[in-house]
């Protein structure tokens, strides 16, 4: 379920949100909930100082990525404290199992992803067969990969009506996987090959991806149809096809589009809709990225 609020006008708001921020001080406060992830965007324009406090819980972990430069925070742990300056693409990680207290100084614009402990455990087990012991603390450290993913997530949160469940789930999976690989305190991964889908499950998964208009089928539905967990299915699909489900589906749409461009006189906008793209602009952008030329140029050639 998606919920969002632009707080530039005076509204009656809850004093503390689920991350401990003062909601009535936020100029942008967006949340997007899925089965295993919660995505946030928290933005404040003014230069005030405020305090964030959350008690320990079993909610899991939070990764935050700064979209802008200039934010400063002091994180307090017991009798110790550490100060961090956040530039664009700087990250921090919170473990909800620990009490958290921080003084926030200045304006900020963060996108954040909350991941459940069950998700972390399942991914670690299916990737390496072993659990991680937690995450290293990169507070204030720049991470270009998270920076790029944060830009995509920010656009997704701002334009929620255009985001497909499949894309959102895949984005969460990508963020979670990079978090584990880059910052997880885990044993070295083995070189054994990952799981593969049976031919029956591969066919079933591909049929379900193609069956629903605009790809609006969740990975959970496909995994259930194959009697697999969602994270196991994603890994097995990638091992079998060398593509994520979203990448595979985009390539099939482009294959269909090339057939229509080659053998029909349909307009680009009609082909875009017929192939499951939201509009001609989305179609042209994706076609250009995968094929190397815009669809109009490709058709003429």
Angle, CA 2 vertex, CA 8 and CA 139 arms, to 5°: 75
- Among the listed residues 153, 129, 1, the one whose alpha carbon sits nearest the alpha carbon of residue 63: 153
Element (H, E) at 51: strand 49-54
Counting Cα atoms < 13 Å in the Cβ hemisphere of 2 gives 15
pTM (global) more than 0.85: no
Do residues 105 and 71 touch, judged by C-beta distance below 8 A? Answer: yes
With cut-offs at 50, 70 and 90, classify the pLDDT of residue 188: low
More confident residue, 158 or 48: 158
- Among the listed residues 81, 88, 130, the one whose alpha carbon sits nearest the alpha carbon of residue 103: 81
pLDDT of residue 10: 35
Whole-number average pLDDT of the chain: 83
- What is d(CA 295, CA 267) in angstroms, rounded to the nearest whole number? 11
With cut-offs at 50, 70 and 90, classify the pLDDT of residue 55: confident
């Amino acid at each position: 379920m998606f919920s969002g609020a632009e707080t530039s006008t005076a509204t009656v708001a809850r004093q503390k949100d689920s991350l401990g921020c003062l909601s009535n001080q936020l100029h942008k406060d967006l949340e997007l909930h899925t089965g295993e992830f919660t995505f946030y965007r928290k933005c404040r324009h003014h230069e005030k100082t405020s305090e964030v406090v959350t008690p320990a819980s079993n909610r899991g972990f939070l990764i935050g990525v700064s979209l802008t430069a200039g934010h400063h925070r002091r994180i307090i742990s017991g009798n110790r404290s550490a100060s961090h300056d956040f530039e664009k693409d700087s990250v921090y990680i919170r473990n909800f199992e620990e009490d958290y207290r921080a003084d926030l100084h200045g304006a900020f614009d963060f996108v954040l992803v909350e991941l459940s402990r069950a998700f972390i455990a399942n991914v670690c087990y299916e990737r390496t067969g072993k659990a991680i012991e937690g995450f290293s603390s990169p507070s204030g450290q720049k991470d270009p990969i998270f920076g790029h993913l944060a830009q995509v997530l920010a656009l997704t949160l701002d334009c929620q009506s255009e985001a497909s469940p499949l894309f959102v789930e895949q984005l969460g999976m990508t963020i979670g996987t990079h978090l584990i690989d880059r910052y997880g305190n885990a044993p070295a991964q083995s070189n054994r090959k990952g799981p593969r889908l049976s031919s029956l499950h591969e066919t079933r998964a591909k049929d379900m991806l193609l069956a629903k208009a605009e790809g609006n089928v969740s990975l959970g539905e496909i995994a259930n149809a194959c009697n697999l967990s969602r994270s196991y299915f994603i890994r097995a699909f990638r091992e079998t096809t060398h593509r994520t489900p979203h990448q595979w589906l985009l390539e099939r749409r482009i294959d269909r589009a090339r057939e229509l461009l080659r053998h029909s006189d349909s307009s680009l906008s009609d082909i875009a809709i017929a192939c499951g793209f939201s509009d001609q602009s989305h179609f042209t952008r994706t076609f250009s990225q995968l094929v190397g030329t815009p669809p109009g140029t490709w058709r003429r050639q």
